[in-house]
C-alpha cells in the first residue's frame, strides 16, 4: 500500500486526475485497438478518399480512403509501444551503468561516464538520425535510437543518487556487518535510487513519443501500411488545405498524450517529494 500511496495522491490532484484518465484511456485504446477500431487500419477505398468526418468515418479518411479514426487507434499501439519499450530499456541500461559508476568510483566511474557523455553531448534527434542511417528505417531501428539517445540522462541521474546514498549511515552499518558489494548495491543502494529514475523515465516517455513521431514524419519510423501518428501527419502535409483532418487529428493525439504524461509526472513528483533529487542528475 505504501508504494501505491504517492500514486493515489497524484491521481487525487487537479492536475493528476484528468491526466491519469487520459493516460489510462490511451493505454486501453492501444491494447484493445483490434476490438475498438471500426475498420481495418490498412483497408483502402479510393472512392472514399479524403472524406470529412462523418457517422461512417468519425475522423474522416485519408488520401487512400483509409479510416483515420481506426488508424489513430492502431497508431496509439505503435507510438506508445515504441516509446515505452525504448524508455524502459534505456532506464534499465542507464540504471545499471550509473549505479556501477557511482558505486565503484575512480577509473571505472571516469570511463563509464566518458562513454555516457559521448551520447549526452548530442541532441537525441541527431543520435537517432545517425543510428537509423546505419541500421535502416523501421520500428526496430527507431526503438534502438530512442534507447541510446535517452540512456545518458538516466545513467547520470542514477550515478548521482548512488554517490549521495553511499555516505548514509545505514550503508556504513551494512558494510560493517560484512555485506558484500553486490548485496549492498542491489539490496540497499539501487532500490533507494530507483524512484527518481523511474519518474524521470515516465517524463521522458512523452519526449520519446515526440521523437518517434518526428522520425515517422520523415519516413524513418514505422513503414507503410503500419499506422504511426508521425507518419500520418507526414502524409497529411501534402493535403493540408484539401483534407486538414488528416494532419490535425494525429497531431492532437500526440499533443494530448504528451501533455497528460507531463502533467501526471509533475503531480507524481510532488507526491513523492523528489523534485530536488531529480535535479541532482
Range of the domain at 194: 4-280
pLDDT band at 1 (very low <50, low <70, confident <90, very high): very low
Predicted local confidence at residue 176, as pLDDT: 65
What value, to the nearest 5°, has the Cα angle with vertex 269 and ends 267 and 275?
A: 135
Query: Taking residues 164-184, what's their average pLDDT?
Result: 70
> Is there a contact between 149 and 88 (Cβ–Cβ < 8 Å)?
no
197-221 residues labelled b (16+ CB within 10 A) or e (exposed): bebbbbbbbbbbbbbbbbbbbeebb
Number of domains composing the chain: 1
Identify the CATH number of the domain in which residue 230 sits: 1.10.3720.10
Convert the pLDDT of each residue in 204-253 to its tens digit: 999 999 999 999 888 888 888 888 898 888 888 878 888 899 999 999 99
- In this predicted structure, the answer to whether residue 133 has a pLDDT above a threshold of 50 is yes
Q: What is the pLDDT of residue 280?
A: 59
Cβ–Cβ under 8 Å, residues 198 and 90: no
Q: pTM of the predicted model, to two decimals?
A: 0.89
Give 49-107 pLDDT, tens digit per residue.
899 999 999 999 998 999 999 999 999 999 999 999 999 999 999 999 999 998 888 89
Average pLDDT value for the chain = 87
Alpha-carbon distances of 18 from 13, 22, 23, 203, rounded to whole Å: 9, 6, 9, 16
What was the pLDDT predicted at 239? Answer: 81
Confidence check: pLDDT of 36 > 90: yes
Amino acid at each position: 500500500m505504501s508504494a501505491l500511496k504517492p500514486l493515489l495522491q497524484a491521481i487525487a490532484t487537479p492536475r493528476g486526475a484528468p491526466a491519469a484518465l487520459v493516460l489510462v484511456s490511451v493505454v486501453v485504446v492501444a491494447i484493445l485497438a483490434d476490438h475498438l477500431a471500426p475498420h481495418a487500419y490498412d483497408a483502402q477505398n479510393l472512392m472514399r478518399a479524403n472524406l470529412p468526418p462523418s457517422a461512417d468515418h468519425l475522423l474522416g479518411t485519408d488520401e487512400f480512403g483509409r479510416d483515420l479514426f481506426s488508424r489513430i487507434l492502431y497508431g496509439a499501439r505503435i507510438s506508445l509501444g515504441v516509446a515505452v519499450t525504448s524508455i524502459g530499456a534505456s532506464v534499465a541500461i542507464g540504471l545499471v551503468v550509473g549505479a556501477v559508476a557511482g558505486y565503484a568510483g575512480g577509473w571505472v566511474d571516469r570511463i563509464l561516464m566518458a562513454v555516457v557523455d559521448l551520447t549526452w553531448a548530442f541532441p537525441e534527434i541527431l543520435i537517432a538520425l545517425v543510428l537509423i542511417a546505419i541500421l535502416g528505417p523501421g520500428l526496430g531501428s527507431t526503438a534502438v535510437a530512442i534507447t541510446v539517445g535517452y540512456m545518458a540522462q538516466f545513467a547520470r541521474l542514477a550515478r548521482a543518487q548512488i554517490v549521495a546514498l553511499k555516505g548514509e549511515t545505514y550503508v556504513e552499518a551494512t558494510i560493517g556487518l560484512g555485506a558484500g558489494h553486490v548485496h549492498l548495491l542491489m539490496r540497499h543502494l539501487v532500490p533507494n535510487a530507483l524512484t527518481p529514475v523511474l519518474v524521470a523515465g515516465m517524463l521522458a516517455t512523452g519526449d520519446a513519443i515526440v521523437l518517434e513521431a518526428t522520425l515517422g514524419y520523415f519516413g524513418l519510423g514505422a513503414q507503410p501500411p503500419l499506422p504511426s501518428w508521425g507518419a500520418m501527419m507526414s502524409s497529411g502535409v501534402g493535403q493540408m488545405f484539401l483534407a486538414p483532418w488528416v494532419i490535425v487529428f494525429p497531431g492532437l493525439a500526440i499533443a494530448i498524450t504528451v501533455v497528460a504524461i507531463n502533467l501526471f509526472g509533475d503531480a507524481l513528483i510532488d507526491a513523492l517529494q523528489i523534485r530536488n533529487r531529480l535535479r541532482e542528475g
